C-alpha cells in the first residue's frame, strides 16, 4: 500500500466537534506520533521521515545518537513492540531563528524505513492554505500538564484546540510562518515541542493533515494567550525538497 493510501486515516475522526482536555490517548489512536529522544515530539510523514521543530536541536547533535520511538503510548514503560530507530540525518530549516522562532521546522531521516502497522502510520501533509480557521484541531504529546512543573504524564495526551484567525494570531507571531490555536485553559506545554497539530483537510480529501508543529507560547494555557505553531502548509515545498516528495492529502 502506498503512502497516499496509508496517511491520515487514523481513527481520530472521533474527535470531530469534541473538546478534550488533556485526556489519555488510546493505543493506535495517533499512529503518526513519535517521541524524539524523549525530549520532543514529532510526526511520521513518510516511512523514512519525521517532521519536528528546529528548536529541538542546536545543530551539534550526532544523528546516530538520537533515538526515535514509534508506535508508543506509554513513554515511561514502552511496550515490547515499540519501534526504536536512530537517525541518519537531522535537517533544520536554514533560516531558523532561535530568537524569534521563525522557520521552526526540521525533518529527521530515520536510519531505515519503518514498516507501517496498525500502530505506526504517517500523517498527511497539507496543501497550501489547507487551514480551517475556527475549526478544532488536535495536538498530542507527552509534555507537562502544567507550566514550570515536572508533572509529565506516562500516557500520550490529547487535547482539541480551535485554530484562530490570523488577525488574532498576528499579535503573537508572524502569520506568514506561524499559526495559532487557542481554547481557554487548554494547551500544549513543555515537552510537547515538535509535536503535531492535526486537523481535517479542508481541501476535500477528508483525511487528517498536520497543519502545525508545536513551537512556542506564553507559559501554558494562559488565559488570552494562544499556542503558536509552525505553519506547515507554508513549508510543503521545503519539506518536499528535503525528503524527496510530499506525502498525501
The residue from 104, 130, 187, 192 that is catalytic is: 104
The residue from 178, 193, 205, 215 that is catalytic is: 193
The residue from 43, 55, 201, 205 that is catalytic is: 55
Q: Which three cell numbers stand for residue 64?
A: 546516530
193 carries an active-site annotation: yes
104 carries an active-site annotation: yes
163 and 179 Cβ atoms separated by less than 8 Å: yes
93 carries an active-site annotation: no
Q: What DSSP assignment string belongs to the chain?
A: --HHHHTT-SSGGGGTT---EEEEPPTTSSTTEEEETTTEEEEEEETTEEEE-GGG--S---GGG-EEEES-SBSSS--TT-EEEEEEEEEE-TT--TTT-TT--EEEEESSPPPP-SS--PPBPPPTT---TTSEEEEEES--SSTTS----SBPEEEEEEBPPHHHHTTTS-TTTEEEE-BTTB---TT-TT-EEEEE-SSS---EEEEEEEEEESTTT-TT--EEEEEGGGGHHHHHHHHTS----
Q: Which three cell numbers stand for residue 210?
A: 498536520
Instruction: Report, as residue numbers or ranges, the catalytic residues.
Output: 55, 104, 193
Amino acid at each position: 500500500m502506498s503512502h497516499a493510501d496509508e496517511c491520515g486515516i487514523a481513527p481520530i475522526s472521533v474527535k470531530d466537534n469534541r473538546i478534550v482536555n488533556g485526556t489519555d490517548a488510546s493505543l493506535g489512536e495517533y499512529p503518526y506520533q513519535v517521541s524524539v529522544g524523549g525530549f520532543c515530539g514529532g510526526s511520521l510523514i513518510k516511512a523514512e521521515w519525521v517532521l519536528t521543530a528546529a528548536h529541538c536541536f542546536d545543530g551539534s547533535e550526532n544523528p546516530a545518537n538520537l533515538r526515535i520511538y514509534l508506535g508508543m503510548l506509554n513513554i515511561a514503560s514502552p511496550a515490547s513492540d515499540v519501534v526504536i530507530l536512530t537517525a541518519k540525518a537531522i535537517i533544520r530549516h536554514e533560516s531558523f531563528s532561535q530568537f524569534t522562532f521563525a522557520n521552526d521546522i526540521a525533518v529527521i531521516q530515520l536510519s531505515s524505513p519503518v514498516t507501517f502497522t496498525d500502530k505506526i502510520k504517517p500523517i498527511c501533509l497539507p496543501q497550501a492554505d489547507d487551514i480551517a480557521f475556527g475549526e478544532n484541531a488536535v495536538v498530542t504529546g507527552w509534555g507537562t500538564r502544567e507550566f514550570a512543573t515536572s508533572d509529565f504524564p506516562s500516557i500520550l495526551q490529547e487535547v482539541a484546540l480551535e485554530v484562530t484567525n490570523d488577525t488574532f494570531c498576528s499579535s503573537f507571531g508572524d502569520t506568514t510562518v506561524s499559526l495559532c490555536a487557542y481554547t481557554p485553559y487548554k494547551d500544549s506545554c513543555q515537552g510537547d515541542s515538535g509535536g503535531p497539530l492535526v486537523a481535517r483537510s479542508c481541501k476535500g480529501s477528508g483525511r487528517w493533515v498536520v497543519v502545525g508543529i508545536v513551537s512556542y507560547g506564553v507559559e501554558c494555557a494562559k488565559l488570552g494567550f494562544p499556542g503558536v505553531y509552525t505553519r506547515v502548509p507554508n513549508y510543503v515545498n521545503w519539506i518536499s525538497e528535503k525528503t524527496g516528495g510530499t506525502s498525501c492529502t
